[in-house]
Structure 1
Amino acid sequence: MPLKTPSQTLTGKLQIDTGLGSFLGDKRIRLLEAIDKTGSISQAAKAVPLSYKAAWDAVDDMNNVAPEPLVTRSAGGKHGGGTELTAFARRLIAFYRALEKESQLALEKLTSNLQQSGVCDVDDFRQILRRMSMKTSARNQFAGPVVEVKEGVVDTEVTLALSPTLQLTAIVTRESAEEMDLRVGRDVLAFVKASSILMLVGDDKRISARNRFTGTVTRIQQGPVNSEVTLSLPGGQHVITAVITDDSVKRLDLVAGQTATAVFKASAVFLAAVD
């Protein structure tokens, strides 16, 4: 039997879809493995490779969506101290690697079947899979069950429980709520652009925005015009990131370790129902 060339064989990177959405793939697994080995986000980022910021963003995203924390951090040092995996994260890595082996065996069998049947060219099949992939540009991603639905004439207000103490409210059209079958108990993904979030220091009750998340500033990534400010929310698992002007950072005297509040309108939240 002639050897298969790379163009004649299907290979893929496994992406895990859970009841809380698609959040874990090959690059993030390799990041978790590197964190476990080095105990450092910066060293793990170099090993993947990822930029230091992209590695932090990936850790924040995974902790936001996972049912249990995957990565814990201790304060101190130039880059925020040491980092280690939880037992839950190690079990998840083992599960992913075992599933990855089974997935590749299935792809090899599928390649053979496609070649023998002539139903579909392998390259055509790859293209179909690429087109089916979906990504979002929203910086903040959360997940949780719907705990309240308030229907209006035109719009519907939907509240999600991110944790026992954190809730997020979104407003969608009544038609969208019906199409997504939004109901109490249904798992939903919520996305919020960093640019849609305002930052407050102190308690300003004059802001009418529905969502307010008070936390501790953990990172400030400064740019030539804007800065990215990340808050760690109560409970230590969730974070939220806002993009505000450098002038706003100076005016608010924002520094790491400070208490601040992220504020955004319910209409700024994009929802996706998990089937």
Structure 2
Amino acid sequence: MHPSLPRLRGKLEVDTELGTFLGDTRIRLLEAIAKHGSISQAAKAVPLSYKAAWDAIDAMNNLAEHPLVTRVTGGRHGGGSTLTPYGEKVVALYRALESEYQAALDRLAANMHSSEHGDFAQFRQLLKRMSMRSSARNQFAGTVCALREGDVDYEVRLRLDADNELVAVITRESAENFQLHMGQELYALVKSSSILLLTDNKVKTTARNQLWGEISRIVDGPVNAEVTLVMPGGKSLCAVVTHDSLERLGLEVGGKVCAVFKASAVILCTYQ
């Protein structure tokens, strides 16, 4: 590239309809995990807060087809984290795309002197990615595996992975707007405050969604605590419970727990 010409630099981001799935910070976090074998060490290297690193890993594992990171919770002998083979491929693909992306920007900058300003403005507009953002702590991608039509509403069952399904109830109007059909990809949002936790598998409840997992993290506070559980297959759920509930249920890292929430608490999203 000619030294007198301005250089365009861009940040490559891989977006979903729920926001950024992969970007430079998350890729550097994955690379640091591969190097250090520890989330805490990787977070310091990026740098990120320990909680932000965990949240990023949970989000990537939930939205990816396969988990990118496998974790062993801490304990007497400590814990560790490693990239899965799928995670390693994702990092390599991102870096390859990033290199091609920068090369394309360099070629564009080299030709700017012969391009009309309008063309360049249109190109910049083309690069903008519109994405939906949500404050819901739990975000999942799944495919419709069952539909049941009622007089007023629709019951929609989503397959999250080989081990887990999620049930939502939406209005007939929403179902018609979504043009629901089997195999359709949808996104499910569940607020952490809508989730109840149970430890006794004999307890009966009318809630349609009952997802068991192992507690991977607890962030305790004076009033509430944030409890994250990892389900079979690597996807995670976060629930906010009171400090009293935390103590009464005897919740601790490594313990088994069931996340319970109503089908009406699930918000479904799609894209055009």
After TM superposition, the score normalised by the length of structure 2 is 0.87
Partner of 1:240: 237
2:247 pairs with 1:268: no
Q: Is the 8 A contact 1:231 1:240 kept in 2?
A: yes
Q: Does residue 1:221 correspond to 2:219, yes or no?
A: yes
User: Partner letter of residue 119 of structure 1?
Assistant: G
C-alpha distance in 2 between matches for 1:93 and 1:138: 27
Quick one: distance in 2 between partners of 1:217 and 1:25?
27
Contact 1:21-1:189 at 8 Å conserved across structures: no
Cross-structure match for 1:151: 149
Structure 2 regions of 5+ residues with no counterpart? none
Counterparts of 1:64-103 in structure 2, within 5 Å, are 64-77=62-75, 81-103=79-101
Residues 73 and 253 of structure 2 are in contact (CA less than 8 Å); yes or no, is this contact kept in structure 1? no
Read off the aligned partner of 2:117 and give its amino acid letter.
G
- 1:224 to 1:20, Cα distance in 2 relative to 1, 3 A: closer
SS at match of 2:160: strand
Partner of residue 165, structure 2: 167
Q: Which residue of 2 aligns with 1:117?
A: 116
> C-alpha distance in 2, partners of 1:28/1:214?
28
Tell me what 1:38 maps to.
36
Query: Once the 2 structures are TM-superposed, how far is the Cα of residue 165 of structure 1 from its aligned partner?
Result: 2.3
Give the Cα–Cα distance (whole angstroms) in 2 for the partners of residues 26 and 2 of structure 1: 26
Provide, for residues 127-153 of structure 1, a one-character-per-residue CA deviation record: whole Å limited to 9, x for no partner. x937x3432211112122110111223
Residue in structure 2 matched with residue 256 of structure 1 by the alignment: 253
SS at match of 2:128: helix
For 1:194, the equivalent position in structure 2 comes to 192
Q: CA RMSD in A?
A: 3.0
Distance 1:78-1:226 versus aligned 2 partners, 3 A rule: farther
Cα distance change, pair 238–80 in 1 and its aligned pair in 2 (3 A): farther
Cross-structure match for 1:63: 61
Q: For residues 103 and 118 of structure 2, what CA distance do their matches in structure 1 show?
A: 20
1:180 is aligned to 2:178: yes
2-structure distance, mates of 1:112, 1:171: 54
2-structure distance, mates of 1:118, 1:274: 32
Following superposition, the deviation at residue 21 of structure 1 comes to 8.5
Letter in 1 for 2:116: S
Instruction: Return the offset for 1:160.
Output: 0.7
Q: After alignment, is 71-80 or 174-183 more displaced?
A: 71-80
Q: Tell me the alpha carbon deviations over residues 63-82 of structure 1, each in whole angstroms, 9 at most, x when there is no partner.
A: 22222221112244489601
Q: Deviations over 1:184-215 (max 9, x none)?
A: 11122211111111111213644322111112
- Output the CA distance in 1 between the equivalents of 2:172 and 2:112: 44
CA distance in 2, matches of 1:198, 1:79: 31
Separation (CA, whole Å) in 2 of partners of 1:210 and 1:117: 58
> Which residues of structure 1 form unaligned runs of 5+?
none
Deviation at 1:112, TM superposition (A): 6.5
> 2-side partners of 1:133 and 1:249: how far apart?
36
Q: Give the percent of matched residue pairs that are identical in Structure 1 and Structure 2.
A: 54
Instruction: Give deviations 1:5-45, integer Å, cap 9, x for gaps.
Output: 57xx4x33222257998522221111100101111101111
Contact kept in structure 1, 2:17 and 2:133, CA below 8 Å = no
